[in-house]
Structure 1
Amino acid sequence: MSRVPAHATTATDPAARGHELGTACREAIHETYAGYARLFAAHGLHPHHVRDHGRAAFAAIDAWAPHLAEEITGLAEGSGLSVWKVAALNARTEILAAAAVTGEGECSTSVVLPGGGAPPRTVQTWDWHDTLRGGMLAWTYTTSEGRRVATFTECGVLAKIGVNDAGLGLHFNVLRHLSDSAGIGVPVHAVARRVLDEAVTVDDAARIARSARLSASTVLTVVTRDEARCLELCPAGIGEVYPDDGFLLHTNHFLAPELAGGERTTAASGSSTFERDAWLRERAATALRADDLTARAHALCAHREDGAPVCAHADLALPEHQRWESLATISLDVVAGDLHVHRGGPCEVEERTWLTLTAGQAAFA
């Protein structure tokens, strides 16, 4: 099985870093945008809506984190894609939320703090549309302040899941809330990027998240050697979920009581989030505590016939915009600063299929 493409940028200036990555990944960025353009259209979004949303997202990013707007401009110049299109890629969660899109699938994340000085044990699936599997990227870079970061993301998107050299890791799952709106705010992927670039503690990550005006929801599961917390982000506020006996699990519905009342995802809408959550808590909790990352990945091997599609496979009989697949399986080692990525679902993981990036050092195993 082929691995997720990997790239390491050397430029530390935001615009130069964006230009370097945009040039290196030019074709993949164009293909990724084309895939999202089809997805947006399938959900009834006219190209001029996407253009307006992209411009609004760029303005929100520029106001909140001007250096990230500079990087997006560099990405656009390097790739030959319009600035608003690169911004729309980064705001794909916000654009889909503006169209009130719901989905059957999405990601499952587990973090275990075993105690006794042992490092945290993390694993998640990244579930998305199978037609967008070609846009995956494992990327290492260094910020202008010297922070080294390794992230799994999509081509042209600032960041998603990752770890930095300060020993902070970040997992990422989408959520949907009644407060989500079409008034495009700071993209949640930009929030994830600033957390990876700047945060050393979980409190740092929460402070960064609270500073952004949001229009869409997500959950950032932040982990350091000694602490883990789910930060549930939505326009109505930020909820925080703490480990239970060292075990922290999240799928795609709100758990914080102050936000759960605004939950927009329901079992009636076809989402599997509740089944996946129950299956993992009841049948996989012990296995998710395993020290070996391959064993943890195998703990996620539940398919629809098992009662919950934790490991999802696309139903090719469905239209493209209704198909879901576990495109990647990811684990973080916050002590070593390692990002481990397997291309595909947990049922295909073997020890030899992991790609390992060490934060900022472009050390590929």
Structure 2
Amino acid sequence: MTFPTFTSTQLDPRARGKELGTHRRKAIVANLAGYSDLFAVAGATPAQVRAWGERALDRSADWAPQLAEEIAGIAAGAGLEPWQVAVVNARTEILAAIDATGEGECSTSVVLPGPRTVQTWDWHDHLRDAPMLWELEPRPGHVVRTFTEAGALAKIGVNTAGLGIHFNILRHESDSAELGVPVHLIARRILEEAATVEEAIAVAMSAPVSASTVITAVTSDDAASIEISPAGVGVIPPEQGVLQHCNHFLAPGLAEGERHATDRPSTYDRLQHLRDRVEELSGDDHTARALAMLSHGPDAAPVCAHPDLTQPINQRWETVATIALDLPAGRLRVHQGGPCQVTEETWQVF
């Protein structure tokens, strides 16, 4: 089992978006429908969702006009309105606006130098077909490869400048319904523009946001977890070459406003699980690192999540992917599913 892939041939943002939208039309439309169902179950009306999508598009155009153009191109190719593709890109912001809650989410480990990285990516099981792997060239000679969702501009990824990012959602008391720049666009600009951790931090700090996320930026010998919230940006450096993050704030000034762990306290257990396995997570073997992540609830930390089908769709969580960055090669290693299913043969190199 592998995720679908797409390699863009266009350099112009609108043309690149239209090419992607045309080739991945069914998946993008299905992803929008899946999110529309999720928002409805969580309590949002279609009118609210449209208003949030339009505002996200406006804020994106102010902060990164070229990315707003790419969103418009995707919409044209997929037969959608630009605000609808903006909804897919702003799904984190819309969920924050609804104040959606539930158990689940991602765990990330980075060990320097190398780096040796791995993360689980958990999401709602009815959206398990949304992910794709996308290669694009935002400018000649600079290649970005990202694990993302159909219609979203980026998520976890690497670039050929030697930088990669991991991605975990957060919640903060400052999150609001006044939609700001989508955090997925911040990830994309970092992959497009940054070659150093400091440059990645500068991109994140420049974005006016309404929802929270942590982007862990990594190079061969440097890393930082960049905690983004409407209240500000916190930067967590490695300790003795180790940097691990789950779904709660670690920066002292931001941790006081923590919201995610109020509803999902397992984030603390998951982080402790990673800290207890630093030795196993420090090896060169990406399969061994993934297996070191393995832990199932309820008797242990639920790093590897499986959905409870008795729950409504907004409360069902699944580890959809396990991902390691290969920065020297500028590639991703992606396994479809959780650590409990990983073998050397199940990795998809992209």
Report the TM range for the smaller structure's normalisation.
over 0.9
Amino acid corresponding to residue 36 of structure 1 in structure 2: Y
2:130 alignment partner in structure 1: 135
**Paired residue for 1:110?**
109
Matched, 1:86 2:82: no
2:42 maps to: 43
Q: Which amino acid aligns with 2:247?
A: N
Tell me how far 1:305 sits from its aligned partner. Answer: 4.2
One-letter identity of the residue aligned with 2:252: P
Equivalent residue, structure 2, for 1:255: 250
Q: C-alpha deviations, 1:245-289, integer Å up to 9, x for none?
A: 11100000000001100101235x24421111112212x211111
**Deviation at residue 350 of structure 1 after TM alignment:** 1.1
Separation in 2, partners of 1:209, 1:254 = 16
User: 1:230 touches 1:242 (CA, 8 Å); kept in 2?
Assistant: yes
Q: In 2, are the aligned partners of 1:20 and 1:78 still within 8 Å (CA)?
A: yes
- 2:207 maps to 212
- C-alpha contact (below 8 Å) 2:219/2:327 kept by paired residues: yes
Q: CA deviation at 1:103?
A: 2.5
Q: 1:144: how far off?
A: 3.0
For residues 64 and 140 of structure 2, what CA distance do their matches in structure 1 show?
15
Q: Distance in 2 between matches of 1:105 and 1:313?
A: 9
Secondary structure of the corresponding residue to residue 128 of structure 2: helix
User: Does structure 1 residue 277 correspond to structure 2 residue 268?
Assistant: no
Q: Is 1:326 aligned with 2:319?
A: yes
SS at match of 2:135: strand
> Partner amino acid for 1:279?
H
- CA–CA distance in 1 between the matches of 2:15 and 2:120? 32
2:102/2:314 contact within 8 Å kept = no
Task: Quote how far apart the aligned CAs of 1:352 are.
Answer: 1.2
Q: Pick the aligned partner of 2:195 from 182, 191, 200.
A: 200
Tell me which residue corresponds to 1:361: none
Task: Give the conservation status (yes or no) of the 8 Å contact 1:138–1:152.
Answer: yes
Q: Distance in 1 between matches of 2:82 and 2:61?
A: 12
- The 8 Å contact of residues 14 and 144 in structure 1, kept in 2 or not, is answered as no
SS in structure 2 of the partner of residue 45 of structure 1: coil
CA distance in 2, matches of 1:177, 1:341: 29
Shifted more, 270-279 versus 54-63: the winner is: 270-279
Range that drifts further, 317-326 or 50-59:
317-326
> What is the RMSD of the two structures over their aligned residues, measured on CA atoms?
0.9
Secondary structure at 2:139's aligned position in 1?
Answer: coil
Secondary structure of the corresponding residue to residue 266 of structure 1? helix
Partner of 2:68: 69
- Separation in structure 2 between the aligned mates of residue 221 and residue 266 of structure 1, nearest angstrom: 19
Q: 1:92: how far off? A: 0.3
AA aligned to 1:164 is N
1:103, 1:271 within 8 Å by CA — same for their partners in 2? no
Q: Is the 8 A contact 1:303 1:310 kept in 2?
A: yes
Q: Which whole-Å CA distance do the structure 2 matches of 1:351 and 1:289 have between them?
A: 17
Structure 2 matches for 1:96-245, cutoff 5 A? 96-114=95-113, 119-245=114-240
8 A contact 1:105–1:271 mirrored in 2: no
The equivalent of 1:303 in structure 2 is 296
Partner of residue 313, structure 1 = 306
1:107-146: CA deviations, max 9, x gaps? 00000004xxxx2100000000000001110110101354
1:239 is paired with a residue whose SS is strand
Q: Tell me by how many angstroms 1:161 deviates.
A: 0.2
What amino acid does structure 1 have at the position aligned with 2:308?
D
Distance 1:306 1:345 in 2: 17
Deviation larger for 298-307 or 46-55: 298-307
TM superposition shift of 1:333: 1.1
Q: Aligned partners of 1:243, 1:205: CA distance in 2, in Å? A: 16
Unaligned runs of 5+ in 1: 358-365
- Counterpart amino acid of residue 74 in structure 2: L
Kindly provide the amino acid, as one letter, of the partner of residue 111 in structure 1.
Answer: V
Gaps of 5+ in 2: none
Cα deviation digits, residues 300-358 of structure 1 (max 9, x gap):
1100044110000111111111000100000001111111111100110111111111x
Q: Is the 8 A contact 1:148 1:165 kept in 2?
A: yes
Distance 1:271 1:313 in 2: 17
CA contact (8 A) 2:247 2:261 kept: no
TM-score normalised by the chain length of structure 1: 0.94
Aligned length: 350
Pair 1:339-2:336 in alignment: no
> In structure 1, what is the Cα distance between the partners aligned to 2:104 and 2:265?
6
